[in-house]
Structure 1
């Protein structure tokens, strides 16, 4: 019996991040227990594949240009300033006024440790459960760039105290003030550790021959992680969700060394009620605290198709490469106040392509030959979202240690 396939049990524990090991159809023998420990790091989530598929830094994607039209739209005093500047000479100096670009630079990182316990209930049925411990850090910096304020200071500085105050505006400081006035938490560095969503996995082998096998897998995600926070613009907000994922995994031995493993899955999140800020229009990018209300949320279902190819160098070492595509339907929101719930669904539909590489060492067969002290599997996996729409890039590195008794 090859135990390498049990990596798939551990693969489900951080479903919110889609950090997933190469699929397999191997199960635990009846009565065998398997504790395992996953250590992983997810980077690249400060980059996003936007609506046209272009990969952009979130700092560039979310930057705001505070030119005259934008200032006039957001601030009545700024509109008066622009009109006053336009009265100086014939060059429409107010229309050219630009406080520059407010750039938000972030450096997020997610690390996780997930103890997992699995047991072979029968020869064809294995159950597993995992509890992820997640550490989220982020360095956030606000900066003001590409401003032409210095020209206006030289031309009009000292003429009027209120004008001087406007010309000395610090966008970073004013942004923090505006967020506070609207009831948001201050944008700053993050260093949080918490329990994520607990996962329960059931694997049932439907059939197996010498060269082929088919396994059905059901994964249940429990909403034990942090709830959605409408007041924190830097929160991950991907936990506290209940979902059911149904998967089928097929394996076919192409030769003594090569095995192909195609698979498909369909994730169905359950509807929940959360507190959200509902914008009043498409331009209401930072809704006020008064806009918060409890809404019914139905996260879109996700369909996944993928395949991997595994090459066994020996009884102890193997390498696998995989590629998968997944697509998620848009989220839907409803409520009882007649608000613009449709705006909450904007850009929530996504698609992505992910590539994976895994190197595995197993001492199981060596243990039965009495040449290894313990039966164990150690695997190192690297995966990356290489293309997509409305999805963050996720460069994941994970070490998985699995024991048996």
Structure 2
């Protein structure tokens, strides 16, 4: 039907969108304080970028991407996440030639063909950050602390930060061998996806949501069982930096995240208020991704926070956002002769940065006052033919329930002083 939106998408309407705007501005403010600059990438990219960057063995690439062939017979995919696109922008625009590290953030819609449920949609929105050009454990800690800082400013409570190290190309082969040794006797009992992952990437089996696979993997070797000395030292330093700034965490040796590009630090932030899909954000380090996408060897780390999940968690925790909904001023008119004066005053107020509105339906004064109340206007300027002829108008303070006559010549200054 033409009058219904596609399943898994939402209309964000006035009254609700103000919460989004508040959240986005808060994220932008934090980014300014931490030294991150905004990047805006296309909503769609060449499919190969996500196949190579996100990983061919991930659920995203195997089952969830919105992929189509365009009129030039090119395979195009709506972006399912933001990191690969940010990496492509970094490489294509030669940001590696600039002083490092490069710190970027993005806010925008992502697309995955998934089963819609609370906090999970087919078009969803992410705020994310990426740091390119530094392998310092302090950068890992900064990125994690930044995410927790944002949640704290929003007012979210009862969050759990889970962290892990997923190793590097030096120690991954050891883990791969240990995992295959564990899963080989149970191969026939794994789901078809995990049977395919056994040879390609057995670490992905630990991330499977199939209950049978989870049970088989419950006692499998973990990433921490196979870390090389360099990865172990890096992880210990990340934890020490988090300890130094008072960020509490849980070491979760089964945390692998859902993307293939992660190396070393991986983390996820959980909320207990949004049901089975408890993650409200996460990220990690991806030191080989930029090289995989055609750039020079460059370390990277980042995170992405789901805006829908943040708003859902805030709602369930009873958190309200300090948003302004209605106009500061509503102009009510009595008689057709004052309509032009009302329209002129309306524009004068707006040019001074004052949110103002008037009636456009020819309502009665009583109906206009009722409408102003529904708009949550604080002040109402009442223009009547008799008052305007005397060069004055009545200003009613809707909150205080008081009103007074104000000279028309000084009306804008009076309203500015009251706003």
TM bucket (normalised to shorter chain) is under 0.3
More strand by share: 1
TM score, norm. by length of structure 2? 0.20
TM score, norm. by length of structure 1? 0.20
